[in-house]
Amino acid sequence: MPQVPMPVTNPAPAIDVTRPRTTMRSMCGRYSLAVPGDIVAELFALVGSPEISPRWNIAPTQSVGVIRAAPDGARHLSPLRWGLVPTWAKDAKIGNRMINARSETAASKPSFRNALRRRRCIVPADGFYEWRRTVDGKVPTRIQRRDGTPMALAGLWERWSRGPEPLETFTILTTTPNHLLRPIHDRMPVILAPDDWQRWLDPDQQDARVVEPLMIPYPDGELEAFAVSTRVNSPRHDDPECAAPVA
């Protein structure tokens, strides 16, 4: 695995977590990818080395790089809009509320079941954010791998053709939280292990039952969580300060 520069160089302070309420914003609703394109290309075995502008605060409805496999298995990074628009939708605005899909029900939901069978993708991210509820208010919290290596978030994509031009969109699958995430939120994104990337992206694998076992909580010991600046609250801010730990 290639050596990846840590996205945050300051030590992450310990945080005192409290049990979240049941009404919270979507998970995952913000994430980052600030590592160079050649690192992403090597890690995910992409065809070519894509140009990637560093992003520290990616938000829904924005166009970002997503990894898909061609019929011959070759992996490419393509720009798709975050917020899945089903092929049958009359209005693309439906994608604004489809940034996540529950892994437990994706195989049966009309919005996601065909994509789970035929159009799976990987969303590369070097961290994601959630807003932890405390007695003093919501605290933005960053979750990332301890070694700084980008993660492979499990996604689904669709091509919508009812507008003036075809629109390609994606959603991020979620699952139950691991021990680390449980005090922060009742969901977490599905993070795929490297050994599972091939099976997830395989365009010839169209049996949802084969990939469903991959949609499980990620191991606790490989992730870390720490509080970050409220600067990340606004998608207008997209700079390293969004990902830096605060006391």
Strand, helix or coil for residue 25: coil
130 assigned to active site: yes
d(CA 50, CA 158): 22
Strand order in the sheet with 127-134: 55-58, 30-33, 127-134, 137-145, 223-227
Catalytic-role residue among 42, 104, 130, 212 = 130
Q: What is the CA radius of gyration of the chain?
A: 17
Catalytic-role residue among 28, 158, 168, 224 = 28
Identity of the amino acid at 205: Q
28 assigned to active site: yes
| Alpha helices (H) in 17-159, listed in sequence order | 37-44, 113-118
What's the token pair of residue 214? 């991959």
Hey, which residues are catalytic here? 28, 130
